[in-house]
Amino acid sequence: MLVRKVNISGVNTYKLPIISGARMKVLFKKLREGEDEGARLELINGNLRLVLSVLQRFKNRGENLDDLFQVGCIGLMKAVDNFSLDHNVHFSTYAVPMIIGEIKRHLRDNNAVRVSRSLKMLAQKAQQVREELTRKFLREPTIQEISLELGVTPEEVVFAYQAINDPVSLHDPVFSDTTDPVYIMDIVSDQNSNADLWVEDITLRQALDILTERERRILESRFFEGHTQTEIAADIGISQAQVSRIEKAALRRVRHHLSDEGGSSDASL
């Protein structure tokens, strides 16, 4: 006999109750009218599966799932206490962002790298100014324009943005589809292994010669000059989605060319 038992914080996740939408409406009415603690408890227990579904987003971050589950439950309890049927949305639609927010706050506050409050405030102001300038100029503002508006140096703006960004994995995709994802590790070089960089550069430049002028221009702008797809799209007069498709196809052609060249070289040895 197969016994299904996966415990998180002492809770057997296979035995979590399921609560219907109709029952939840009844319980929320009871909770608002009479502060029925039994109704509150039933609503929390009946929606613990929401916390489990949110945990799937954080399972590969090396965090303790028991801790995250407990933090997620705090978000769920806040959602139960603040939800109103007048919102005219499903409870899950209201609760999931609150659970995610609670977990993200926990991860941020317990991050080994502490970011000062002043730096966080500068990053928030920079983001507000960025949105205001985007509406004003009808384009993405530069770091220099944001820094002038704030009265700080461009370096301070960049540092503030970088300080509040979550660390990423080398295995995170830059963009992905079902056939040919490109990962961060594909575009980040190891500066400690530079003995053959000049050979690799010659090979890459030769590979770029097989591309059309537009494909070569996009790849050079993206990976040699550091421009975003949005900036490139504005520069050459096409949409960002078109830039993404052209870039992906060009990378695939370059890879195939380099693979063929590698196979030919190996065969000649």
pTM: 0.41
Q: How many CB atoms lie within 10 A of CB 102?
A: 22
pLDDT of residue 18: 82
Reported as a single tens digit per residue, the pLDDT across 126-156 is 889 989 998 888 888 888 899 999 998 888 8
Dihedral angle of Cα 98, 99, 102, 103, to the nearest 10 degrees = -150
* pLDDT of 38 strictly over 80: yes
Which has more confidence, 17 or 167?
17
Q: How confident is the model at residue 205 (pLDDT cuts 50, 70, 90)?
A: low
Q: What angle do CA 140, 141, 146 make, to 5 degrees?
A: 145
From CA 229, how far away is CA 102, in angstroms rounded?
A: 32
What topology is assigned to 117-164 in CATH? Arc Repressor Mutant, subunit A (1.10.10)
Q: What is the mean pLDDT of the chain?
A: 76
Range among 61-65, 102-106, 165-169 with highest mean pLDDT value: 102-106
Q: How confident is the model at residue 196 (pLDDT cuts 50, 70, 90)?
A: very low
Q: Can you tell me the mean pLDDT for 19-29?
A: 85
Q: How confident is the model at residue 269 (pLDDT cuts 50, 70, 90)?
A: very low
pLDDT of residue 112: 55
pLDDT of residue 148: 92
Residue showing tokens 């504005």? 234
Q: Which amino acid is at 130?
A: R
**Do 57 and 100 form a contact (C-beta atoms < 8 A)?**
yes
Query: For the chain, what are the domain ranges?
Result: 7-109, 117-164, 173-268
pLDDT of residue 116: 66
**DSSP annotation string for 85-111:** GGG-S-HHHHHHHHHHHHHHHHHHHT-
Reported as a single tens digit per residue, the pLDDT across 212-247 is 888 888 888 887 777 888 888 888 889 888 998 998
The CATH number of the structural domain formed by 173-268 is: 1.10.10.10
7-109 and 173-268 in the same fold: no
Q: Can you tell me the mean pLDDT for 70-74?
A: 90
* pLDDT of 88 strictly over 60: yes
CATH of 7-109, one of 3.50.50.60, 3.10.50.30, 1.10.3720.10, 1.20.120.1810: 1.20.120.1810
